[in-house]
Amino acid sequence: MAGMVLGYFCLFTFSCLRPPDSARGNPMCGIVGIVGKSPINQTLYDALLMLQHRGQDAAGIVTCQGERLFLRKDMGLVRDVFQARHMIQLRGNNGVGHVRYPTAGASSSAESQPFYVNSPYGIVLAHNGNLTNADELKHDLIVDDLRHLNTESDSEILLNIFAHELQIQGKLRIDEQDIFRAVAGVHRRCRGGYAAVTMIPGFGVFGFRDPHGIRPLVYGSRETPEGTEYMIASESVALNSTGFNLIADVAPGETVLITFDGRLHTRRCAAQPVLSPCIFEFVYFARPDSIMDNISVHKARSRMGMKMAAKIKREWSDHDIDVVIPVPDTSRTAALQLANQLGIKYAEGFIKNRYIGRTFIMPGQKVRKKSVHQKLNAIDLEFRKKNVLLVDDSIVRGTTSRQIIQMARDVGARRVYFASAAPPVRYPNVYGIDMPAASELIASGRTEPEIARELGTDGLIFQDLEDLIEAVQKKGKSHVERFDASVFDGVYVTGDVTSEYLETLEARRNDGAKEQRPPSNESAIDLHNNY
């Protein structure tokens, strides 16, 4: 049965002729790994459902039974990729899962994760993030390490870097010290934001996080009659929903390893880690019921609303707002707190079609424009003859915001104001959020009054960056000393992002380049994904 049972030799994809010209990166994803005492296919599935907000383009699971691996991955939502016949074949008590949203170019099943490399030992990896020195690493892997790259994903680069660092130790059987040394080698060579969950057949599952902790990663445990089970995942909601108790966040530069016999090991593998998580996780990506780096996402968003209300009181005390209406779903918490603080009516004015994916992550601007009207419908009674303050989590391109403002006018709003719970997004993200090119960000090169005119709003209020940081950080509640807020201030915490790098990123990410780029690996023969 093609693609069902996979061992040390056969979890790979054949492709053509040469490596791609440039790594495309690995955008925001959700990852999970489990070491269990009984079959964990259903638990992995349930965890991925809870992480579905982090990626709706593709999903995959690899399980391990003894020395054998079993894989299912494909394009689509979790519920569509995994049918009963697939779940039955995902055997074993240990496994890794992944959900992905579209990359900057065309999507293909060949770049769905988890990825696998045969040598050494057989290694499975699921990755969330982006390597800022991917081109340099790719050259080194091909020329110096003599390894083959089959996709344009830097997740495959990360996997092969780790595999090489483990292989050069030259051991027939490995232990936890070998893993820690190999991850230390990854940290020495790789730059950027990355969180990964990795599995080696017959040995264990381990997770590691970049030295700045830019992308989130947590781990927890649950007690069963057969013994203690462990999970490593992008967000705590994946733990809570499946009966696991949160132990801790994976610290920046730390590796958390659980061997298949149930032993837990942790080690700091990076030389000088500095916790600098991505603040945009708290603004937009993370689920509100998650806790990351000891910060409640829900509470952080509530405080964002309080800060916004304080700014309105301070700078617009004579406002004429009749009603506060959130743009569903991420902004609801901030909007409700803002309305409460101002003593203004809060109303749900938009009905969301839950069968349409997030607009921000739709591939291609033309599709994005069309999807807004498919996704939201305005309730005219909440808008008619009223001065409305619409609240959203952020404004990126402005495409969606412009259309939502016009929708409010079309159903009879007298005046339409717009508030963003985040500051203007002026710079591209380089650590795993596949934002548009800088030139396509509505705030790039524009003042706030100019942005307001572009959006067609009667008034525009942005959160101040200092207020956003204070809202998320909550002194005394969190141990985070600083955040990566590069999309707002252009300060990239890894210190290696040059103007030349950003120019190259601009050329790769702009819509014109995306439309001209051919589909990636669509002709590849995907031997392991046919059942």
pLDDT at residue 101 in the model = 81
pLDDT at residue 108 in the model = 59
pLDDT at residue 28 in the model = 82
187-196, 430-439, 472-481: lowest mean pLDDT where? Answer: 472-481
79: helix, strand or coil: helix
Distances from the Cα of 530 to the Cαs of 5, 61, 91, 115, in angstroms? 11, 14, 17, 16
Phi (first) and psi of residue 158, to 5 degrees? -60, -45
Mean pLDDT of the chain: 88
CB 145, CB 157: distance < 8 Å:
no
Res. 525: pLDDT tops 50? no
- How many Cβ atoms from other residues are within 10 Å of residue 17's Cβ? 4
192-201, 257-266, 298-307, 501-510: lowest mean pLDDT where? Answer: 501-510
129: helix, strand or coil: strand
Question: For residue 145, what are its two tokens?
Answer: 């390490």
Q: Model confidence over 207-227: pLDDT tens digits?
A: 999 999 999 999 999 999 999
pLDDT at residue 436 in the model = 82
Distances from the Cα of 69 to the Cαs of 72, 107, 314, 334, 393, in angstroms? 10, 25, 60, 44, 41
262 vs 370: which has the higher pLDDT: 262
Residue type, 219: Y
Distances from the Cα of 261 to the Cαs of 147, 264, 470, 505, in angstroms? 31, 9, 43, 44
Distances from the Cα of 422 to the Cαs of 10, 251, 430, in angstroms? 47, 26, 18
Res. 27: pLDDT tops 70? no
pLDDT at residue 25 in the model = 52
How far apart CA 43 and CA 290 sit, in angstroms, is: 18
Res. 4: pLDDT tops 60? no
**Mean pLDDT, range 51-66, rounded to an integer:** 95
23-37, 148-162, 307-321: lowest mean pLDDT where? Answer: 23-37
Question: For residue 250, what are its two tokens?
Answer: 């994976």
Phi (first) and psi of residue 283, to 5 degrees? -70, -45
How far apart CA 228 and CA 444 sit, in angstroms, is: 50
* CA 79 remoteness from chain centre: 19
Is residue 29 flagged as an active site residue? Answer: yes
pLDDT class for 504, splitting at 50, 70, 90? confident
- Could you tell me the pTM of the whole model? 0.88
CB 90, CB 40: distance < 8 Å:
no
* CA 361 remoteness from chain centre: 11
Res. 518: pLDDT tops 50? no
* CA-based nearest residue to 256, from 214, 199, 215, 212: 199
Catalytic residue among 10, 16, 29, 269: 29
Res. 392: pLDDT tops 60? yes
Distances from the Cα of 202 to the Cαs of 62, 199, 387, in angstroms? 14, 9, 63
Distances from the Cα of 47 to the Cαs of 95, 114, 193, 358, in angstroms? 12, 15, 23, 19
Res. 520: pLDDT tops 90? no
**Mean pLDDT, range 22-29, rounded to an integer:** 59
pLDDT at residue 16 in the model = 31
Instruction: For residue 117, list its beta bridge partners.
Output: 123
pLDDT at residue 487 in the model = 96
72 vs 476: which has the higher pLDDT: 72
Res. 528: pLDDT tops 80? no
CB 157, CB 141: distance < 8 Å:
yes
How far apart CA 254 and CA 273 sit, in angstroms, is: 9
Please list the helix, strand and coil fractions of the chain in percent, rounded to the nearest 5, in that order. 35, 25, 45
Q: Classify 364 in phi/psi space as left (phi over 0), alpha (psi -120 to 50) or beta.
A: left
pLDDT at residue 152 in the model = 84
How far apart CA 207 and CA 199 sit, in angstroms, is: 9
3-7, 16-20, 126-130, 336-340: lowest mean pLDDT where? Answer: 16-20
pLDDT at residue 353 in the model = 81
- How many Cβ atoms from other residues are within 10 Å of residue 319's Cβ? 16
Question: For residue 81, what are its two tokens?
Answer: 């990729």
pLDDT at residue 329 in the model = 86
